[in-house]
Amino acid sequence: MPAPAHQGTRSDRLRAIWRHRGPVAWALRPLASLYGALSGLQRALYAWDLRRAQHPGVPVVVIGNVIAGGAGKTPVTLATVAHLQARGRRPGIISRGYGRSTQDVRQATPDARPQEVGDEPLLMARASGVPVFVARQRIDAARALLAAYPDTDILVCDDGLQHHALARDLEVCVFNSDGVGNGWLLPAGPLREPWPRPVSAVLHAAATPPAGTPADTPCFGLQRQLAPFALTRDGQRVPLAGLQGLRLHALAAIARPEDFFAMLRAQSLELAHTEALPDHYNFESWQRSSDLGLQVICTEKDAVKLWPHVPQALAVPLHLRIAPGYFDLLDARLCLSSTPLNTNR
């Protein structure tokens, strides 16, 4: 039996608008102009030294994007941290902690509640084994992390290209397969800021770099794929091949839920029911909408919030394949970088 079509989320509808310069996008252009003026003013304040970026004293790598929605920043952050660890570095991760109910500076420990630290910081704390701190101002998170873990010798910031208050040594801009969409600023298009802009490297899921990327910008391809296994709440691995023939309830509270469903189907899994929820959905008020006999399967990011309510749910990790040149660039630039880059570019 084919899976019932899920109701499109608000982000699904926006992405459809942002792919073309259609009537709705044109109608939103005045708001995009206002957004562009306000964000441009913020950048100008730092460029004119009316506001100053602050550096924590150890190298900072910012992994971010210029588009709204899921570009894959968190998996890239984890891959970057793993590479730095393999090179003998002692990294830490800083993040805003989007969607959390708290406002203070705090560590995201593996046993923290996602409502208090955010789902992505909690996932990174569990997956990386390195200290993760969250704060609205990333420099506050950086200073708190370095005070608690003074042997940390490099910081990776999950998101933050537009957070100009944090000085950085490297900027990595991640794009999903949509690239820059229609090329317009929010809300008429997907761009948080005009593209192109100078960055240290571009990672792109499409076959080619996003439109407008300067020829001298280092660009590297990335591919997203599911791990060949799912995880239980207690960390046991269940091969995906062993789930073939079972009727599954697949749910995803991420920016691009259909990508997750498509990857599950590519593993020959039967999705009897699919459920797309808003990105960072907290599951506190979630009620199951499928047959209790269906096995629930979700993303690893969603699992940290879903497991307290559905402990038998299975979580499928997302793995990235990044062109080796990206890691070569990291090694070269971090060895050469002795002072913070100018963030007012």
Mean pLDDT of all residues in 241-253: 95
* CATH code for residues 60-224+321-336: 3.40.50
pLDDT digits (tens, 9 = 90+) for 105-136: 999 999 999 999 999 999 999 999 999 999 99
pLDDT digits (tens, 9 = 90+) for 251-305: 999 988 999 999 999 999 999 999 999 888 889 889 887 778 899 999 999 999 9
Quote the CA–CA distance of 129 and 109 in Å, as a whole number.
Answer: 9
Mean pLDDT of all residues in 15-41: 95
* Residue with the larger pLDDT of the pair 284 and 197: 197
> pLDDT class for 333, splitting at 50, 70, 90?
very high
Mean pLDDT of all residues in 188-212: 96
Does the structure show a pLDDT above 70 at 5? no
Quote the CA–CA distance of 82 and 74 in Å, as a whole number.
Answer: 12
Does the structure show a pLDDT above 50 at 67? yes
All structural domains of the chain with their residue ranges: 60-224+321-336, 228-316
pLDDT digits (tens, 9 = 90+) for 76-107: 999 999 999 999 999 999 999 988 999 999 99
User: Cβ of 108: how many Cβ atoms within 10 Å?
Assistant: 29
Q: How far is CA 116 from the centre of its chain?
A: 18
- Amino acid 23 reads P
Cβ-in-10-Å burial (0-12, 13-18, 19+) of 170 comes to buried
> pLDDT class for 344, splitting at 50, 70, 90?
very low
Nearest by Cα to 221 from 237, 199, 204? 204
Contact 251, 281 (CB under 8 A): no
Does the structure show a pLDDT above 60 at 312? yes
| H-assigned helices in the chain | 10-18, 23-27, 29-47, 73-86, 114-117, 119-128, 138-148, 257-266, 300-306, 324-336
pLDDT of residue 284: 85
In eight-state DSSP terms, residue 25 is H
pLDDT of residue 8: 54
pLDDT digits (tens, 9 = 90+) for 146-173: 999 999 999 999 999 999 999 999 999 9
